[in-house]
Amino acid sequence: MTPFDTLTRADETILVTTLDGYDRAVPVAAVEALRAAVRGPVCLPGDAGYDEARTLWNAMIDRHPAVVVRCRGAADVARAVDFCREHGLLLAVRGGGHNIAGRAVCEGGVLIDLSLMRSVHVDPAARRAVVEPGCLLSDVDCETQAHGLAVPTGINSTTGIAGLTLGGGFGWLTRKHGLTIDSLTAAEVVTADGAIRRASATENPDLFWALRGGGGNFGIVTAFEFALHDLGPQVTAGLVVFPMDRAREIMKTYRASIADGPDDLTVWAVLRKAPPLPFLPEEVHGTDVLILVVCHVGPLEDADAALAPVLALPGAIGTAVGPQSFADWQMAFDASAGPGARNYWKTHDFLTLPDAAMEAVFNYADRLPTGECEVFFGHVGGASSRVPVEATAFPQRRPHYVMNVHARWQDRADDARCIAWARGLFNATAPFAAGTAYVNFMPEDEGGRTDSAYGANMERLARIKAEVDPGNLFRVNQNIRPRATPMPAE
């Protein structure tokens, strides 16, 4: 099927891909009925808004749905879900469109686009925020920081709140306040039967448990309710940059000391080529470096003591650390991770970083295929590690390091070598990994890794999936297939 030839006026049908991967002739009248029933636009190829909706952050993803429903609210989402279920159509759900795997859009099916749903309502007295699923982190930060409050989210302001939350969500506030899901108090969800449900600790609690880390498998969240935490508006944050020949020594100190740091302090490590930052000497621009990225979210007067061990490390070629607004810090890395580039990621969780694992990393960090590629280590611990494994679907509650092998480039001709570099580093470090993975960092070709990513929580997730989505309508994701609880042996 050629996407732009799907509309066939002669027989008044549109060819749409089904859940089974076939083409189905859907009556134009049914699409028109859907258009009349929703507040948002329903777009076909060539219509205004169609390309905007299908274009994602990762330029490697170029898919053409047959129908796009640009929802304005939960009722629109419910009617779009009904339309897909009744006709047996493949559907994908787009929030912020930032997911590395590109599963926000499907080829030939129906795109349920939530990007127009971007309201944030803050109740400072109740310390709650209700956030729509099309919001970016910048939308959330803008509204919450106006009251000196925050939701623990990620590290790029262009990330979508929906995908981040449903996969767990970690960032600068994780050590202090836990994962994003640890501040989720309730959600409004459209399930596969088209019903609009509320999920919380007391309402549909199994569904609520699964939403906190289980991805988009269990329904379409049309509103997130978050508990808010005091923050800022200023934090102490910035970069300490070392030449690569110091990286081995610095990483040994880093891994030995990070667990002893206060919950207010986050220190992550990035191996990459030095960007042309104004505080770095011009002669080091483009050379291989190790960057320690620091963020202290406690009182400003406590920052110097907390940061002293990092700032005292010898051999730095540039340091830029100081007070700044949290909202500005959230945007600090947007320029190096903006839309329009080609991206491929690989990820592991590590409980420790043994010398042999780091040597494998350094071997690949010494041959970055482009100046935009990097290897990132985020330490996840503190408050997030004090939540029991069984409390949410997100399984990795022990203090650990998340490695993201971030291959990024501009030219399609570089696809093979950049992907091969990322896969090579991933394979070289696999013997030292914990076996779990952060699902938001998993690329499209890792669908078979979902079971191990969820570990001991997978059985319960599969059972809840069988209860709320037995037909696996929501399958364009890191998919959890429905599996009913097996009958006990007699």
Q: What is the pLDDT, as a whole number, of residue 448?
A: 84
* Amino acid, res. 73: G
Element containing residue 309 per DSSP (H, E): helix 303-311
Residues 6+ apart with CB under 8 A from 1: 15, 17, 23, 108
Q: Write down the number of H helices and E strands in the chain.
A: 14, 21
Helix 28-37 × helix 74-87 angle, to 10°:
160
Architecture field, domain 9-113: 2-Layer Sandwich (3.30)
For the stretch 129-184, pLDDT in tens is 999 999 999 999 999 999 999 999 999 999 999 999 999 999 999 999 999 999 99
Token digits of residue 420: 């091969």
At residue 11 the predicted structure's pLDDT band, cuts being 50, 70 and 90, is low
Give me the mean pLDDT over the 232-255 stretch: 94
* For the chain, percent of residues with pLDDT exceeding 90: 92
The pLDDT value recorded for residue 8 is: 44
Locate the domains of the chain by residue range. 9-113, 120-230, 234-445
Q: What is the pLDDT of residues 317-351, one digit of tens each?
A: 999 999 999 999 999 999 888 899 999 999 999 99
Q: What pLDDT shows up at residue 488?
A: 45
pLDDT in tens, 269-319: 999 999 999 999 999 999 999 999 999 999 999 999 999 999 999 999 999
Residues 52, 44: Cα–Cα separation, whole Å: 12
SS3 423: helix
CATH for 120-230 is 3.30.465.10
Give the strand order in the sheet containing 23-27. Answer: 7-8, 13-17, 23-27
447 has pLDDT over 80: no
**Nearest-angstrom CA–CA distance, 305 and 390:** 36
Q: Please report which confidence band the pLDDT of residue 407 belongs to, taking 50, 70 and 90 as the band edges.
A: very high
| Side-chain half-sphere exposure of 280, counting CA atoms within 13 A | 22
What pLDDT is recorded for position 20?
96
The residue type found at 447 is G
Q: pTM score, two decimals?
A: 0.94
Give yes or no for residue 99 having a pLDDT over 50: yes
Tens digits of per-residue pLDDT, 15-55? 999 999 999 999 999 999 999 999 999 999 999 999 999 99
CATH fold for domain 234-445:
Vanillyl-alcohol Oxidase; Chain A, domain 3 (3.40.462)
How confident is the prediction for the chain on average, in pLDDT?
Answer: 94
Q: What is the pLDDT of residue 336?
A: 85
